[in-house]
Structure 1
C-alpha cells in the first residue's frame, strides 16, 4: 500500500527507492503490511518510516497489480493522505524524498505504471 500526499502548493510527495525492487526510481511512499496490520496503520507507519511525516489516511484512490520476483503478484492499494506533522526527510529504504510538480513527473525515472495509475485516478499534481 502507498500514500498519495499533496502539499499546499499541490505538489505530490515522492520517494526515491534506495533498495530493490525499483532501486533509484521514484514512487509513492509505502510498502508491505505487517502481519495483522490494517491498511490505514500500514500507510501511517510506512510514510513515517520513509519520510518522517505523520499523516491522516483518507479514502482509497485506487489499486494496481504489479509483478514481483519469482512470479509473485503484488496487489498495491494507494490511499489519499494529508500531512498532520513533520518535515520530509528520507529514511528507512528511501534514498531521497521530494515534493514534485507535474513537470517533475515527466523528467524523473518513475516506478513502472505510476504515472498511468495517477492519471487514471485523477491524482496528478496541479489537477
Structure 2
C-alpha cells in the first residue's frame, strides 16, 4: 500500500425516509460497489463542509434538495471514512443521476431482496434506520 492509499478519504451519506417509512437507495454506477445498492453520498471535496458535500451529492445522485440533519453514525470501509446523516427533502424530484445507475424508495421487503453494499444492512439496523414499512 502506498502512502497515498493510506490517506483516509472523507465521505458523507444521506439517510432519507419518505412519509411511508421507505428508505431512499441508489444503485452504484461505478466502483467501489458498482451494481450494489446503498444510501446516496460521496466524497467531501476540498473546502466543503459535510453539509455542503451532502447537499451536492444528494442533488447529483437523486435529484432531491435536502436539509442535512443529525449525524446517524460513522463507518470505515477501507480508506473511506463515511459520515452518514439523517436528511429531509426540501425540494426536487427523484431521478437517478451522476454516480447512480438507479434510485428508488424501498420498503422492508425490497431492502432485503436487493444486493446491498457490504455492511449496509447491519449498520442501518444498529442505528435503527432500516425501512419502517
The runs of at least 4 aligned residues of structure 1 exceeding 2 Å deviation read none
Q: TM-score, normalised by structure 2?
A: 0.90
Counterpart selection for 2:81 from 57, 75, 83: 75
Counterpart selection for 1:104 from 104, 110, 115: 110
Match of 1:48 in 2: 59
**Structure 2 regions of 5+ residues with no counterpart?**
1-11
Q: How large is the Cα RMSD of the aligned pairs?
A: 0.9
Q: Which has the larger radius of gyration?
A: 2
**Structure 1 regions of 5+ residues with no counterpart?**
68-72
Match of 1:70 in 2: none
**Alignment: residue pair count:** 122
Q: 1:8 Cα deviation (Å)?
A: 0.9
Q: 1:125 Cα deviation (Å)?
A: 1.2
Counterpart selection for 2:29 from 7, 18, 29: 18
Q: TM-score, normalised by structure 1?
A: 0.94
